[in-house]
Amino acid sequence: MPVMLGQNNMSIKPGHIYISPGDHHMLINSNLTITLDDGPKENFVRPAADPMFRSIANTFNERSVAIVLTGLGRDGSNGSQVIKKINGKVIIQDPTTAIAPSMPRSVLDEGIADVNTTVDQIPRKIAEFIKKLV
């Protein structure tokens, strides 16, 4: 899949991967465009996963999926809670397989992970969730 840096007002296309550029939170809007936000750091970082997860929850409601991979700190925990509260899915990389396990571990410790699996199994778990939606 093509991988690119997200740009302000960029339209999201199926089959593409968007990465937040440094020093900006990346938010997803209801019109399926990206907003780059230079608001306050969250979890001591910018970009952070939590603002993006909240925007995904606001856009996709119960069809939202949070995926938390290796990383330092608790980033992703609060946003994952928002997605979980609206009946979306939360998938984490098994912390025992993560180079930096604290991000997926914090989600696991909060009891909000629906799936705890290895990285190579995450695409299958996403596909299983999507099949249930259609």
Q: Examine the pLDDT at 133 and tell me if it is beyond 90.
A: no
Nearest to 51 by CA among 30, 71, 69, 24: 24
**pTM of the predicted structure, to 2 decimals:** 0.94
For residues 62 and 89, the answer to whether their CB atoms sit within 8 Å is: no
Reported as a pLDDT band with limits 50, 70 and 90, residue 113 is very high
Q: What is the pLDDT of residues 72-81, one digit of tens each?
A: 999 999 999 9
Q: Phi and psi for 3 in degrees, rounded to 5?
A: -120, 130
Structural domains present in the chain: 3-133 (3.40.50.180)
Average pLDDT score, the chain: 96
And the tokens for 75?
């980033």
Residues of the chain by 3-state class (helix, strand, coil), percent to 5: 40, 20, 40
Q: What is the pLDDT of residue 134?
A: 78
